[in-house]
Amino acid sequence: VPLSARKAAGGSSEGYAPFLQLPHFSEAVVKKIARKKVRTFQDFRDMTPDERADLLTQVAGFSNGESHDVEMVLEMMPSVTID
């Protein structure tokens, strides 16, 4: 099965692929955060940096440095909205 065809827990239509672009992420990490109602990559991006840091350190077991790495990459990623 192609990676892009895999679905995150909870039936997300976008699957794991967007999350796997982030440092330190694996399918196991995506499953852990999905249990906390973060079902889509947009849900994850919509969180405040502090909320993401708490989620990643407390739920996914990331260190503060790993959480910071994720924030750095998120800052570099473009965000497109269509009106």
3 state SS for the chain: CCHHHCCCCCCCCCCCHHHHCCCCCCHHHHHHHHCCCCCCHHHHHHCCHHHHHHHHHHHCCCCHHHHHHHHHHHHHCCCCCCC
If pLDDT is split at 50, 70 and 90, which confidence band does 13 have? low
Q: If you average pLDDT over residues 6-30, what whole number do you get?
A: 78
8 pLDDT above the threshold of 50: no
Indicate whether this model's pTM tops 0.85: no
